[in-house]
Amino acid sequence: MLIYLISILILLRGLERLTNSGREVRLEECRYRLYALRDKLREMAMKGEVESSSWLFGYLDSSIAKTIRVLPRFSLWRMLAMYLAYKNDPRVSEARRHLGQSLARPENRRFAEIHTEYIGLMVTFLIRRHLTSVGVSLLAFSVFAGIKRVLRDTTEVATESPEASTLTDYCPQSA
């Protein structure tokens, strides 16, 4: 089974390299959407809809900016590596737990909307960047019903890891 999975991953990587046209267009499109999301967050702060002094504002604003900067290095493979590296990291886990609790509060609803949109943008970017790999993976692993949840969980951990985020810098519980 392990040899089968490794063989599929190698095959997917090869297919991905063959179908890598439009990479720069997808990068720029995602980058512009992230800039627009950051601008939306800042506009909400200017209108008084969110507190710019909140740690959630600092986290989201700086993490979106950091993601824009490291976006060319974002790939399904790197996200998977970041997920495996940080999924059991106690500092990241505690910060993620605190983030979830904070975003669940009614007064932080607007921050939660921005966070959901941020994660959604990154999931969409990864799917579009690895369309061939994701398509073949969905066919090959269609028996596993939770593939979308796994992709979302992987993306959340990776986008909240120190490599792509400032969550552990801003979260009061992880300092």
Exposure pattern of 119-131 as b/e (b: 16+ CB <10 Å)?
A: eebbbebbbebbe
The span from the CA of 90 to the CA of 93, in Å, is 5
Asked if residue 102 is part of any domain, the answer here is yes
Q: How many CA atoms lie within 13 A of 13 on its CB side?
A: 10
* Residue 34 structure tokens: 């992230």
Asked if residue 100 is part of any domain, the answer here is yes
Asked if residue 175 is part of any domain, the answer here is no
pLDDT, residue 143, reads 42
Asked if residue 56 is part of any domain, the answer here is yes
Asked if residue 11 is part of any domain, the answer here is no
Asked if residue 146 is part of any domain, the answer here is yes
Asked if residue 94 is part of any domain, the answer here is yes
Q: Which range of residues forms the domain containing residue 156?
A: 23-170
Is this structure's pTM higher than 0.75?
Answer: no
Asked if residue 160 is part of any domain, the answer here is yes
* Residue 156 structure tokens: 């959340």
Average pLDDT over residues 59-63: 95
Number of domains into which the chain is organized = 1
67-112 residue pLDDT tens = 999 998 888 778 878 888 888 889 888 998 999 999 999 999 999 9
Cβ contact 133:14 at 8 Å: no
